[in-house]
Structure 1
Amino acid sequence: AIGLGVFTAVGVRVAFFLHPTSHSFLLVFCGVLTGVGGGLFRDICVNQLPQIFHTDVYAIASIIGAIPCAMLMHTGNISLGIWVGIGVTIFVRAMAILHNWSLPVAKNIHD
């Protein structure tokens, strides 16, 4: 949860640093791509099924954390945006782990 939060916020920060006038959607997209991509790389390196392919709340936590991070950066509160983004991502991911939250799975139409 900590790594996901940090990588998500860093992804938003780097995107904002490179293109400060870009739309918040782009910042959120870059943050989620960085956060989830870091976890994907970690899982592949240790030969495990990546978390993104489970029904866990993983990418959703990254999205929820990246949104306030990007919004605060656009208001000029870069440090606050980073800390809020990290905190929200960790909180959502930790709550999902503690309460066994999962996403719905699509039904197979052939069954």
Structure 2
Amino acid sequence: MGSVPNPHCYVARSQVLVLSSYSEAFSMVICEAFVTGTTVVSTPSGGPNELLENGRGYLLKSFQDAEEMAETIAYACEHPIDPQLLKDYVNRFDDFKIAQQYIKTFGRI
């Protein structure tokens, strides 16, 4: 399909977003999925671990287990995460809220 300038319409129409990365810091793609209320399945690659904790998504145990990934994707399709829970969580990363946290932090220095 190639590159698309704005993938949100595809993510929003998806049952599940699968992130199969070996290394991932803070995952913007997971946040973008959360904005649309889309359930996420991810490999245990750093940043996703924190974003998906407390029932906000499905985190695989292994990078190498294709059967686990297939089973988890199927399970996630049958048991999606509450879209409102995802949308409410991702609001904490709003640019205005983050800017206010920076201002508060720098004010303490």
Larger RCO (CA under 8 A, 6+ residues apart) = 1
Higher helix share: 1
TM-score, normalization by structure 2: 0.29
Higher strand share: 2
